[in-house]
Amino acid sequence: MPQGATTVPSQDELAIADEVGSQLIRLVRLIERKQVQYQAEHPDAVERATYHLLVHLVKDGPRRAGSLAEAVYSDPSTISRQIGHLVRLGLVERTADPVDGRATLLAATAEGRRVFEENRRIRNEKIAQMLESWSGEDRAALADLLARFTTDFESETSRPAEPAAAPIDVAAARH
């Protein structure tokens, strides 16, 4: 098959893809609803997108804002505003880049790492509770398949878009 060519999915493959897509939309909506509820109950909580920057700085170490923007697929101006918020909260600090003193490195503070670890512990406990009735094999399979799907999704979204045969009605596609 020529490079870039794709096969036409079978009806069974399309039916499974439709079910996966529907369940993903359902999951995203549930997560968004839970986030709104959490924000309402904790008005001082950091927005999910902003918190995601802290996660990257804790896991990957200090980095420049441009590198952080690339890592989270975001615009540098958005990152700048979000980092400013994390700095004001004392979760992130700016330091001079030792390689280029004109540049700034962003790093999680000790408080930022503590907040990350606490949130991660709570998240992991909640997920473990949700999956406690699942067999060990099912839990492991979910983790493996979800990681595989996420990696493939990430690879797919980083490719240039192919021209669509027809415009997509985004509102209708969500249903």
Q: pLDDT at residue 2 above 70?
A: no
Radius of gyration in angstroms for the set of CA atoms belonging to the chain, rounded to a whole number? 20
pLDDT of residue 150: 92
Position 117 scores a pLDDT of: 92
Which residues, 6 or more positions from 53, have their beta carbon under 8 angstroms from its beta carbon? 68, 72, 79, 82, 83, 86, 92
The tens digit of pLDDT for each residue in 40-94 reads 887 667 888 888 999 999 999 999 999 999 998 888 888 999 999 999 999 999 9
The domain ranges of the chain are 10-45
The Cα 151–Cα 157 span in angstroms is 10
Average pLDDT, the chain: 87
Per-residue pLDDT band for 164 (boundaries 50, 70, 90) equals low
Confidence (pLDDT) at 58: 96
Query: Rounded to an integer, what distance in angstroms lies between the CA atom of residue 8 and that of residue 14?
Result: 10
* Burial of residue 39, with CB atoms counted within 10 A of its CB: 0-12 exposed, 13-18 middle, 19 or more buried: middle
Residue-wise pLDDT for 127-142, tens only, equals 999 999 999 999 999 9
Distance from the Cα of residue 22 to its chain's centroid: 19
Q: Two tokens at 129?
A: 């509770």
Q: How do residues 138-163 score in pLDDT, each as one tens digit?
A: 999 999 999 999 999 988 876 666 65
- At residue 5, the 3 state secondary structure works out as coil
From 83, 81, 101, select the one nearest 91 (Cα to Cα): 83
Specify the amino acid at residue 147. A
